[in-house]
Amino acid sequence: MAKPLVALVGRPNVGKSTLFNRLIEQRLAVVDDVPGTTRDRLVAEAEWAGRVFDVVDTGGIDPHGVGASRRGQPLSVGSAEFVEHIRFQAEMAIREADAVLFVTDAESGVTPADQEVAKILRTLQREEEGNPFPPILLVVNKADSPQRRLAAMEFYELGLGEPHPISALHGTGTGDLLDALIAILPEGGEEEEDDSIKIAIVGKPNVGKSSLLNRLLGQERVIVSPIPGTTRDAVDTRLTYQDIPLTLIDTAGIRRRGRIEVGVEKYSVLRTLKAIERSDVALLMLDATTGITAQDAHIAGYILEAWKSVVIVVNKWDAIEKDSFTMQAFTQEVRQALQFLDYAPILFISAKTGLRVEQVLPTAIRVQEERLVRLPTSKLNQILQNALERHAPPAQAGRSLKIFYGTQVRSDPPTFLIYVNDYRLAHFTYLRYLENCLREEYPFEGTPIRIVLKNRRS
């Protein structure tokens, strides 16, 4: 039985992401003073009194007609272009949730926007009449003083029950709130261990990462926009493909270091790098219309440094004028620019039209299977013996590297321990030669190989 799901909703800048981080006890959601920082739904696990549940953070709902500030600007200053998308995402989260925390702000008091969000919740309740609708807890955040906690009583006028005054920043009142939340959550069964293949979609901004995710899922799971930098948080989506559990991780685009803005974008990039760390396979997306850039190579380097498997996905192939040699020429360009990923398969797709998108998941699954391969010790040593016979290690200062035997000590990624007379005699070019010999016998498609040398004691 799945864990209960709790959705955080409310107008912009009431502290939903701060409360989200408080509930899950880690700084996962991007928090900033600029209203509208959160855009996509973000899900993480929380625990209280022995109960485990998922919490989903959503973007601030900026209602039509009342969402403008005194200067005529939308409440979601940081996401004014995405108001419709954010509202749609929040409503999806509400419909999927087992409980809703409607977050308001004691500092501002009851605002027209709060009243409009309450109206939206009541409308959704009526639309779902006859079907189970998640219970709603009214949360009054930023109640940092006795005066504000007393003033929170005015939120009764929203007609959604008893207000729960808290301070998400300082933790005041959150224990009582969690007690009330646990009391209304449905019982959840034992959660199975997450054995899904984790696939991170990474690349520079505006290469079509979110478009690919939506095409793979067949629904508007994340916001898609032609404006670079739309995705900020790493968003996990679970699905089953041909009876294989997968987790797709959409990430923020990584710009060049000199162009990364301090604040929200900086932390978004850090979360993207963490998403690469926790993935099994990375889909490195390239833009066919711009060719291979230095930033593409930097991101590929991040993947290699984390020892993750990789599939190179060239997007926007529909926008390229082609002849019978175009794909071959572009493949050579990719291989030349990303020589250190010469083992990675290359797919040419269009997330917009769906061209060859059906190959993406099967290729990622195949690469993950290669990542878990273990070679028998006898097979490995036969490969090493053949490699030595074809090309002996070069001598250094009158001494040569001697290889005694090797064994695979782990998979994920494949790691080979080779016993030698003196590891300092090994040149990196010879290690690359040994890797190529291994791949001749078993390709380990899309997967990096670790070769570790160790001196054998006499």
Write out the DSSP string of 210-222.
HHHHHHHHTS--S
Distance between CA atoms of residues 57 and 257, nearest Å? 28
Residue 372 has a pLDDT of 95
Is the model's pLDDT at 201 over the cut of 50?
A: yes
Is the model's pLDDT at 376 over the cut of 80?
A: yes
Cα angle value 383/384/387 (rounded, 5°): 85
* Residue 192 confidence class, pLDDT cut points 50, 70, 90: low
Homologous superfamily in CATH for domain 5-184: P-loop containing nucleotide triphosphate hydrolases (3.40.50.300)
Residue 36 has a pLDDT of 43
* Residue 275 confidence class, pLDDT cut points 50, 70, 90: confident
Chain segment 76-88, per-residue pLDDT in tens: 434 444 445 556 6
In the chain, CATH 3.30.300.20 covers 377-455
Residues in the chain: 458
| 158-178: average pLDDT | 94
Residue 63 has a pLDDT of 64
Mean pLDDT for all residues in the chain: 82
CB 45 within 8 A of CB 5: no
- Residue 404 has φ and ψ, to the nearest 5°, of -90, -55
Sequence letter at residue 268: S
- Give Cα 393 to chain centroid, integer Å: 43
Give whichever of 133-142, 320-329, 361-370 has the largest mean pLDDT: 361-370
Higher per-residue confidence, 296 vs 125:
296
Q: Is the pTM of this model over 0.75?
A: no
Secondary structure percentages of the chain, helix, strand, coil, to 5: 35, 20, 40
Homologous superfamily in CATH for domain 197-370: P-loop containing nucleotide triphosphate hydrolases (3.40.50.300)
Higher per-residue confidence, 68 vs 89:
89
Higher per-residue confidence, 263 vs 180:
180
Is the model's pLDDT at 261 over the cut of 50?
A: no
Q: In sequence order, which residues have a C-beta less than 8 Å from that of residue 18 and are 6 or more positions away?
A: 31, 141, 168, 169
Own/partner pairs for 354-362, CB < 8 Å, 24+ apart? 354/215, 355/317, 355/318, 356/317, 357/212, 357/215, 357/216, 360/212, 360/216, 360/283, 360/311, 360/313, 361/199, 361/216, 361/241, 361/246
Least confident of 162-166, 391-395, 451-455: 391-395
Residue 262 has a pLDDT of 41
In the chain, CATH 3.40.50.300 covers 5-184, 197-370
Chain segment 215-256, per-residue pLDDT in tens: 998 855 544 444 444 444 556 788 888 888 899 988 765 655
Homologous superfamily in CATH for domain 377-455: K homology (KH) domain (3.30.300.20)
CB 50 within 8 A of CB 71: no
Residue 39 has a pLDDT of 41
Residue 138 has a pLDDT of 96
Is the model's pLDDT at 349 over the cut of 70?
A: yes
Distance between CA atoms of residues 25 and 80, nearest Å? 29
- Please, how many CA atoms are within 13 Å of residue 304, restricted to the half-sphere of its CB? 15
Chain segment 404-433, per-residue pLDDT in tens: 999 999 999 999 999 999 988 888 899 999
Looking at residue 131, the DSSP 8-state letter turns out to be S
Is residue 369 classed as helix, strand or coil in its secondary structure? helix
Higher per-residue confidence, 289 vs 39:
289
Residue 89 has a pLDDT of 58
| 177-181: average pLDDT | 95
383-to-271, 374, 405 alpha-carbon distances in Å:
40, 14, 10
* Residue 48 confidence class, pLDDT cut points 50, 70, 90: very high
Closest C-alpha among 168, 167, 104 to residue 136: 104
Residue 64 has a pLDDT of 54
